[in-house]
Amino acid sequence: MEDSPQGNIGRGEGKGLKRIFAVMTVALAATIVIAGLALADSKTINDGNDSSTGADMKTASHGHTNSGKLKHKITTYNAYDAKHTPCLQIDAGGSIYRICQKTLTNLTSGESSTITYRHPTSKSTVYIFSKGAIGSPGKYKWQAQTFGTGCGEAPCDSVPNTGFVTHTL
C-alpha cells in the first residue's frame, strides 16, 4: 500500500507534539519547584533567656510572604512596649540598614522608607518589606536587636548572639 500525503498526516507529528508537551510539562514543574523553594526559604534562630534589660528575645526568623515579600518575625520571653520593640540590622550589598517599627533606614545613605510593621501580640513583632527596599540583593545578612535603658548604644540582646544570619534570595 502506497502512502499518500494525506495518509502521513499525524504519524510523525504526533510524536513531535508528545515531545513538546513532555518538555513543557517538565519546564512547568521545574518552575513551580524553583518558585516554591524561593518562597519556602525560611530559618528560625532560637535564643536563650539571657537578657535582664529590655525585651529578651526568644526567636528571630526570616522567610517570605505568599506574595514574595521578605518577612522577619521576632518573639520575646517578656512583653515589651514600643520603646523596646526589637529591631533588625541588615547588611545588603555594602549598605547597612536598620528596621525599627515602621521605618527602614539606610544607615549608609541616610535615606528612610516606611515598611509593614505588626505587633500581633505583646511578645512578637513582624516586619514585611520588599527586596527592593534593601537594594534587591541576591542575599543579605541580618541580626535582630533590642535596645533599652542600661545598655547604652549597644544592643541589650541580639539574635544571633554574635554575627549575622545569611538569607539567600
97: its cell numbers: 540598614
pLDDT, tens digit (0-9, with 9 covering 90-100), for 36-93: 444 458 999 999 998 887 789 999 999 999 999 999 999 999 998 877 899 999 999 8
Q: What integer pLDDT is reported at residue 54 of this predicted model?
A: 74
Distance CA 59, CA 159 (A): 7
Cα–Cα nearest to 128, from 76, 164, 88, 81: 88
**pTM above the 0.85 mark?**
no
pLDDT, tens digit (0-9, with 9 covering 90-100), for 95-136: 999 999 999 999 999 999 999 999 999 999 999 999 999 999
Question: CB-based burial of residue 16 (10 Å sphere; 0-12 exposed, 13-18 middle, 19+ buried)?
Answer: exposed
84: its cell numbers: 523596646
Say if CB 143 and CB 89 are below 8 A apart: yes
Q: What integer pLDDT is reported at residue 82 of this predicted model?
A: 79
Identify the bridge partners of residue 73 per DSSP, sorted by sequence position: 61, 126
Distance CA 32, CA 39 (A): 11
Q: How far apart are the first and last CA of the chain?
A: 62
